[in-house]
Structure 1
Amino acid sequence: MTGSIRERTRARWNIALLMWAAIAINYLDRTVLSATAPELMKEFGLDAAQMGLVLSAFFWSYAFFQIPAGWFADKVGQRISLAFSVAWWSVATMLTVVSQGLKSLMLFRILLGVGEAGAYPSNAGVTAKWYPDKERARVSALFDSGSKVGTALAMPFVVWMMTAFGWKVPFIVCGFLGLIWVAVWWAYYRDPEKHKYINQEELSYIRDGQIKKDGLDAKQPMKWYQLLKYRNILAMCVGFFMLNYAIYFFITWFPTYLVEARGFQLMKMGWVSMIPPLVGLVAELAAGWFSDRLYVKGYSLTFVRKLNLVGGMLLASTIALAGLVDSAVWSVVLLSISFGGLTTAACAIWSLPGDVAPRNMTSVVGGLQNCVSNIGGILGPIVTGFLVSATHSFIPALLVSGAATLIGALTYLFWLGKVEPIQLETKTASDMAL
């Protein structure tokens, strides 16, 4: 009798790898301009202030288009939305080679942000459709870990191509990688009920393990802005804002900190700057696995999510101590612990949209929290730059980042309520923020 039971297929893990690849390419393409910035400044005669405008142009369109991208993903399905998103940003990356100066560089950078806005909301929607609740944290950790791989590998990979072939080649190669991904995604991805490589055993395993079953119809129960009435949605937005405020220090100012505050030479800085993202990669994958194991053992979803969120943000507060120690080595150690804490929280952050969103609105919720979080990402580098200029020290800036992570921990601990899907029919006063 046992021999007649078919083994479950594992199509969902192939899709997880494709989501991971999309995020890795996403970060590779957004980082290529940073790596080629010195050559572009020489080519077009740009000063530091003008280059700063070019670099920041991406984040404004990226943040603004999060909610429309999430709405689009839930409306037409993630097969279309993610393919469209990756194709858009890949073409925008390749078109950068025809730039003639400041205005055209900013235009292509803005277009890149529009395209890349669809990646995380689409992945959140795919995760809600394709994985039982007990696997959601590790899948979120897996696809988000692509950002750490993309960040860690982008610099040496892009610099090598630029040195060997000129600054235009990295844009063409990185854009072409995205178009290859689109072809594979379009050929392979379907929603679970329509996927040709899934059997009934795997489909039943997915659906039986979900409290909320996304994608079985296309009806959305509310407008996106109505989500802001709910306590958990607001807490998710504020908490993610605080995380991104801190994590953008690593994306923008960390190399400068190593050179100016800690005296690293450029080549050594390049290698050392890879350490926190690699620590973050390991921490995120481990945290996602551990979170799912606790859920399987019977701990509540609220407990396992808050353990990652609060614990991770508290660990991340070590960024405040990094500027206070005398040793450059200990500073890097503390910053690596901080980055690991931020990624520990991140795997739970990208599980939450699938946990709490109303039916067929997971991508919208993911886009909404990512929109607010990227406002923190925009403000963080600006505030850091102002504090460093005013005080001639990174210590105040690192203390502010540490304070942000503590506020984030308190937000997730006290403001975030029970982690469960929003049910319109059973709204109570405790569910509502207002």
Structure 2
Amino acid sequence: MYKQKKERRTRARYGVLALVFINVIINYMDRSNISVAATSMGKDLALSSVQVGLIFSAFGWAYSALQIPGGWMVDRFGPRVMYAVSLCTWSLATLFQGFTKGFAGLFGLRLATGAFEAPAFPTNNRIVTSWFPDNERASAVAMYTSGQFVGLAFLTPVLATIQHYTGWRGLFIITGIIGIVWSLIWYLVYRDPDKSRKVNKEELSYIEQGGGLVNPKGKENQEKEKLKWSDLKETLSHRKLWGIYLGQFAVNSTLWFFLTWFPTYLVEYRGLDFIKSGFLASLPFLAAFVGVLISGFVSDYMAKRGVSMGVARKTPIITGLLLSIAIIGANYVDNTAMIIFFMTIAFFGNGLASITWSLVSQIAPQRLVGLTGGVFNFIGSLASIIVPIAIGYLAKGGNFAPALVFIGVLALFGALSYILLVGKVERIAEKGDGGKRPNLSHHA
């Protein structure tokens, strides 16, 4: 008798990861286009530095406020629908920014952009948790997170060039149209693993046996449940979760400096011309792209070699946060190359620290992955409100040095939160689970 040849495992999860990567590029393009437009827009609309800071922060007000509802909606409606709706609506808000006449209209549309982007990263986390086993998850998170850096690295000079030829209004219109088109493509192509025709049983089994939540227990009933206060309380009652929440605030503080004030810092406070600053601004983003890839692949390599998940995940994050403190060094140099050097080291560190979502995937209670991701992103996203406004006030006298010290201190705070608060990396068992990790070795 001949043994039946075992079917080779498909690799559909990598195609899904490529789709998420593009989503993240568009997501960050529409967050950061305001920073490219800021100088010209500010002059045309006669905006003060404090008003510019408020506009920069407007995105964060709505984005942060809707993280928890956004995470819950991902759990209820699933990634396919939520991402399509989110992409289309935030892209429409981006497009309409090209038609604004003053501070109020622009502020309102940035609020709308933040509101509609709110489900995006909880959705990314839900997708990777469903499609990837534990020992590949940091690499997967690194790959899609790198989209924010590689997109910005290459898009910053492109966006500056688009603005040069079409004006800041044309910049918003063009970037908005791109997102609307992609939202339709996403809806037509993406499927969850248990509904995808591109994945075979061998790959599904590999993902699930490795800890991926291919078909979470009670998923059908879960998606019909209403949001419970007890669920929210659960996500706020664990010290290790607070460790990653506070650490994410620190990681996002450095990120939001680069997403908002960095081009303005180079042009207005360091005297570079706009086109040149667009190309120089791309260097720290390239460094962050390299950093996040190194972080993800080294972390997974360590995990596969038997190093504890705590060491494998936390070491790159803590190292990266400590490197981000180098941003303060720019205060002590006047040479353009040295300024960019310190900025590049700081953002490389931010890239190293950006695999934080892998810890959400591995620590969150199984039933509450989306909601935990929402809380995580809510607290982290408070940086998108606080940092742009704080910098606007710190720099209003014409001296940017206090703002860079502020960013460096927050990075140190984040490193300490991971060192002192996050303990053993393991999935939190809800009350009634018997303190055991859920059995993921079979379909529910």
> Please, what TM-score do these two structures have when normalized by structure 2?
0.88
Shift of 1:413: 1.3
Q: Which residue of 1 aligns with 2:402?
A: 396
**Residues 192 and 227 of structure 1: CA distance in aligned 2, closer, same or farther (over 3 Å):** same
What letter matches 1:402 in structure 2? Answer: G
Q: Which residue of 2 aligns with 1:360?
A: 367
In 2, the alpha carbon distance for the partners of 1:309 and 1:250 equals: 18
Q: What does residue range 25-424 of structure 1 map to in structure 2 within 5 Å? A: 25-41=26-42, 44=45, 46-210=47-211, 215-218=216-219, 219=222, 222-259=230-267, 262-325=270-333, 327-347=335-355, 349-389=356-396, 393-424=399-430
Q: Which residue of 2 aligns with 1:432?
A: none
**Residues 305 and 376 of structure 1: CA distance in aligned 2, closer, same or farther (over 3 Å):** same
Instruction: Provide, for residues 258-288 of structure 1, a one-character-per-residue CA deviation record: whole Å limited to 9, x for no partner.
Output: 3455443433322111110110001111211
In 1, the alpha carbon distance for the partners of 2:164 and 2:366 equals: 50
**Residues 399 and 33 of structure 1: CA distance in aligned 2, closer, same or farther (over 3 Å):** closer
Higher deviation after alignment, 213-222 or 193-202: 213-222
Contact in 2 for aligned 1:320/1:402 (Cα 8 Å): yes
Contact in 2 for aligned 1:148/1:281 (Cα 8 Å): yes
In 2, the alpha carbon distance for the partners of 1:259 and 1:182 equals: 34
What letter matches 2:130 in structure 1? Answer: K
What letter matches 1:338 in structure 2? Answer: A
Contact in 1 for aligned 2:53/2:388 (Cα 8 Å): no
What letter matches 1:274 in structure 2? Answer: S
In 2, the alpha carbon distance for the partners of 1:20 and 1:149 equals: 10
**Residues 403 and 31 of structure 1: CA distance in aligned 2, closer, same or farther (over 3 Å):** closer
Contact in 2 for aligned 1:128/1:214 (Cα 8 Å): no
**Residues 267 and 169 of structure 1: CA distance in aligned 2, closer, same or farther (over 3 Å):** closer
In 2, the alpha carbon distance for the partners of 1:59 and 1:409 equals: 23
Give the secondary-structure state (helix, strand or coil) at the position aligned to 1:194.
coil
Contact in 2 for aligned 1:316/1:338 (Cα 8 Å): yes
In 2, the alpha carbon distance for the partners of 1:40 and 1:211 equals: 46
In 2, the alpha carbon distance for the partners of 1:335 and 1:166 equals: 28
- State how many pairs are aligned: 426
Instruction: Provide, for residues 214-237 of structure 1, a one-character-per-residue CA deviation record: whole Å limited to 9, x for no partner.
Output: 634323895223311111111111
**Residues 251 and 427 of structure 1: CA distance in aligned 2, closer, same or farther (over 3 Å):** farther
Contact in 2 for aligned 1:357/1:422 (Cα 8 Å): yes
What letter matches 1:161 in structure 2? Answer: I
What letter matches 1:413 in structure 2? Answer: I
In 2, the alpha carbon distance for the partners of 1:323 and 1:257 equals: 12
- In the alignment, structure 1 segments of 5+ residues that lack a partner are 429-434
Instruction: Provide, for residues 176-229 of structure 1, a one-character-per-residue CA deviation record: whole Å limited to 9, x for no partner.
Output: 222222222212222211111101111111011117666343238952233111
In 2, the alpha carbon distance for the partners of 1:388 and 1:125 equals: 39
In 2, the alpha carbon distance for the partners of 1:94 and 1:381 equals: 22
**Residues 170 and 410 of structure 1: CA distance in aligned 2, closer, same or farther (over 3 Å):** same
In 1, the alpha carbon distance for the partners of 2:107 and 2:236 equals: 32
**Residues 282 and 185 of structure 1: CA distance in aligned 2, closer, same or farther (over 3 Å):** same
Contact in 2 for aligned 1:212/1:421 (Cα 8 Å): no
Q: Which residue of 2 aligns with 1:431?
A: none
In 1, the alpha carbon distance for the partners of 2:24 and 2:317 equals: 21
Contact in 2 for aligned 1:31/1:154 (Cα 8 Å): no
In 2, the alpha carbon distance for the partners of 1:157 and 1:326 equals: 27
What letter matches 2:378 in structure 1? Answer: C
Higher deviation after alignment, 91-100 or 113-122: 91-100
Give the secondary-structure state (helix, strand or coil) at the position aligned to 1:192.
coil
Higher deviation after alignment, 45-54 or 195-204: 45-54
Higher deviation after alignment, 241-250 or 318-327: 318-327
In 2, the alpha carbon distance for the partners of 1:397 and 1:237 equals: 23
What letter matches 1:88 in structure 2? Answer: T
Contact in 1 for aligned 2:39/2:264 (Cα 8 Å): no
In 2, the alpha carbon distance for the partners of 1:171 and 1:2 equals: 60
Contact in 2 for aligned 1:236/1:416 (Cα 8 Å): yes
Give the secondary-structure state (helix, strand or coil) at the position aligned to 2:367.
coil
In 2, the alpha carbon distance for the partners of 1:97 and 1:394 equals: 29
Q: Percent identity?
A: 35
In 1, the alpha carbon distance for the partners of 2:3 and 2:260 equals: 56
Contact in 2 for aligned 1:26/1:150 (Cα 8 Å): no
Contact in 2 for aligned 1:214/1:360 (Cα 8 Å): no
In 1, the alpha carbon distance for the partners of 2:55 and 2:384 equals: 16
Give the secondary-structure state (helix, strand or coil) at the position aligned to 1:83.
helix
Shift of 1:333: 1.6
Shift of 1:416: 0.4
Instruction: Provide, for residues 25-47 of structure 1, a one-character-per-residue CA deviation record: whole Å limited to 9, x for no partner.
Output: 01112223333345545655555
Contact in 1 for aligned 2:35/2:260 (Cα 8 Å): no
Shift of 1:295: 0.8
What letter matches 1:356 in structure 2? Answer: I
Give the secondary-structure state (helix, strand or coil) at the position aligned to 1:360.
helix
- In the alignment, structure 2 segments of 5+ residues that lack a partner are 436-444
